[in-house]
Amino acid sequence: MRESSSKPRNDSGATFAHTLVALAVLVAMSAASYPLASSAIAALGKAADSAFGASRALVADASIRALAARVRAPFWAASIEPANPGDAIEAPWLDGEMEKPAVIAWDGEALRIGEAEAAFRVGGLEHVELAWLEDGRGRVLGFALAFETGGRAWRVEAPFGSFPRPRTEGTP
């Protein structure tokens, strides 16, 4: 016969069945939290795209407004005669010099803003439309652009730094 041990038997340890139940609970919890985590990650990605789009729009807006403010025709000029409608628009009188044009051009990939030789490029824009900001009489007063970025439509209206004196009837 076997002699019994003087130590009492300790059954307080985890069995293999306990370990399997704990693993099953962990798997169920992670499976339940996956849709929540994936939707949170997708929302974070959308928010990041929107923020990057807004920053590109703000850079384009500030650059266009700064360029338009530099277009200063003297008061005696008859008008500001714009050139090249379409994918590029040019306005004379950049920094008060008639032969120095302010250029905004769209090449399909980036918006070029600045002087003909030294232009700043803004990428990540879509559906860019270039136009002139005009008053009710058809006088050109600045640049008007529409574009999309970050899933949102933007419009920029940037008046020139100065305008020629409007001619009235009877004045040369």
- With respect to residue 32, please indicate whether it lies within any of the assigned structural domains: no
- With respect to residue 118, please indicate whether it lies within any of the assigned structural domains: yes
- With respect to residue 149, please indicate whether it lies within any of the assigned structural domains: yes
- With respect to residue 93, please indicate whether it lies within any of the assigned structural domains: yes
- With respect to residue 119, please indicate whether it lies within any of the assigned structural domains: yes
8 Å CB contact between 149 and 126: yes
Residue 17 has pLDDT above 90, yes or no: no
- With respect to residue 129, please indicate whether it lies within any of the assigned structural domains: yes
What are φ and ψ of residue 6, in 5° steps? -80, -15
Structural domain count of the chain: 1
pLDDT tens per residue, range 51-93: 999 999 999 999 999 999 999 988 777 677 777 656 899 998 8
Radius of gyration of the CA atoms of the chain, in A:
33
Q: Where are the alpha helices (DSSP H) in the chain?
A: 16-69
- Please tell me which residue, 137 or 86, carries the higher pLDDT value: 137
What are φ and ψ of residue 28, in 5° steps? -65, -40
pTM greater than the 0.75 cutoff: no
Cα diameter, the chain: 134
- With respect to residue 91, please indicate whether it lies within any of the assigned structural domains: yes
- With respect to residue 117, please indicate whether it lies within any of the assigned structural domains: yes
Beta bridge partners of 98: none
Q: Domain span at residue 95?
A: 45-159
Q: Say how far residue 142 (Cα) sits from the centre of its chain.
A: 22
